[in-house]
């Protein structure tokens, strides 16, 4: 039963990833092609998910958007998680002044006026940015913004680990500090890190949409799941055209399937 669910989830994930990767072949139209005579078209054979306000094929935008988001959010989440593992892990592991320094650093990150910082970043970047560079900057920004909660969780987990019997045992077996940290301690935070990673992914998907309001992230006309979700802003819109929920469905499917396919091992953190 459990493996059945897992297989299904993996299947859905693989399909989504393939569909996103093959957007160039699968999409009926380029993502920015405006069928200006048919704005807000309902679902039809020509436009399976209808068209948006500018007459762009929703299915095509969804496929391309999923591709952008599948590249972006997991990379950013990975970056944030790695940063959290190192910072939170080191804080919990080393304790003392390292802990205090790292955690006050983390608090500082949380307390910083991020809005202004992001605006400053945008100001420092040239206006004509290559989409690839823009995506990379977005990944770094999201990762740089999002690691603190995960680092805190990891520090707490690491504090528990440091006092654990099996680490004492590993020390008693003569393991060196680096091995203790990377081989014996870190694998035990896998569940925790995975949980942090999967919470970060949907958050970052949405955060990306907000970044584009500041001229960062994915810019029009390129779609992303985040900016496609903006069509949901109006409740009435959803009621009259429930098909605008498609990006949300894809997002939920992505996150759910990821969690089902790669379950965080609870026993990892006891």
What is the C-alpha separation between 96 and 113, in angstroms, rounded?
A: 28
What residues are paired with 51 via a beta bridge? 57
The Cα–Cα gap between 262 and 265 comes to 9
From the CB of 66, what's the least distance to another protein, in Å? 20
**Tally of CB atoms within 10 A around 129:** 16
Residues 25, 97, 111, 165: which binds another protein (CB under 8 A)?
Answer: 165
Cβ within 8 Å of residue 132, ≥6 positions away: none
Is 29 a binding residue for another protein by CB under 8 A? The answer is no
Can residue 160 be called a binding residue for another protein (CB under 8 A)? no
Q: How far is the CB of 268 from another protein (least distance, A)?
A: 6
Determine if 166 is a binding residue for another protein (CB under 8 A): yes
**Among 184, 224, 225, 251, contact with another protein (rule: CB under 8 A):** 184
- The partner residues of 57 in beta bridges, in order of sequence, read 51
CB burial of residue 117 (10 Å; 0-12, 13-18, 19+): middle
Q: How many residues does the chain have?
A: 270
Stretch that binds another protein, among 63-71, 135-143, 186-194, 252-260 (CB under 8 A): 186-194
CB closer to another protein, 4 vs 126: 126
Contacts to another protein from residues 58-117, by CB under 8 A:
none
State the Cα–Cα distance between residues 112 and 259, nearest whole angstrom. 32
Q: Which residues of the chain form contacts with another protein (CB under 8 A)?
A: 32, 34, 36, 39, 53-55, 119, 122-123, 127-129, 164-176, 179, 183-184, 187-188, 190, 212-215, 219-221, 234-237, 265, 267-268, 270
């Amino acid at each position: 039963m459990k493996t059945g669910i897992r297989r299904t989830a993996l299947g859905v994930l693989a399909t989504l990833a393939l569909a996103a990767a093959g957007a160039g072949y699968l999409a009926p139209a380029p993502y920015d092609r405006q069928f200006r005579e048919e704005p807000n078209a309902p679902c039809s054979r020509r436009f399976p998910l209808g068209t948006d306000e500018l007459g762009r094929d929703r299915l095509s935008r969804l496929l391309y958007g999923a591709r952008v988001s599948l590249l972006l959010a997991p990379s950013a989440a990975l970056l944030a998680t790695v940063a959290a593992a190192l910072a939170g892990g080191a804080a919990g592991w080393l304790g003392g002044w390292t802990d205090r320094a790292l955690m006050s650093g983390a608090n500082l990150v949380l307390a910083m006026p991020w809005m202004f910082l992001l605006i400053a970043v945008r100001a420092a970047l040239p206006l004509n940015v290559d989409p690839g560079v823009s995506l990379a900057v977005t990944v770094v920004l999201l990762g740089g913004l999002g690691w603190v909660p995960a680092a805190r969780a990891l520090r707490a987990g690491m504090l528990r680990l440091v006092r654990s019997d099996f680490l004492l045992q590993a020390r008693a077996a003569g393991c060196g500090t680096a091995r203790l940290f990377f081989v014996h301690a870190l694998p035990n935070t896998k569940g925790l890190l995975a949980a942090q990673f999967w919470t970060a992914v949907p958050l970052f998907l949405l955060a990306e949409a907000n970044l584009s309001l500041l001229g960062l992230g994915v810019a029009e006309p390129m779609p992303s799941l985040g900016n496609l979700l903006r069509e949901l802003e109006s409740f009435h819109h959803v009621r009259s055209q429930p098909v605008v929920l498609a990006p949300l469905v894809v997002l939920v499917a992505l996150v759910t399937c990821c969690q089902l396919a790669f379950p965080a091992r609870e026993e990892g953190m006891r």
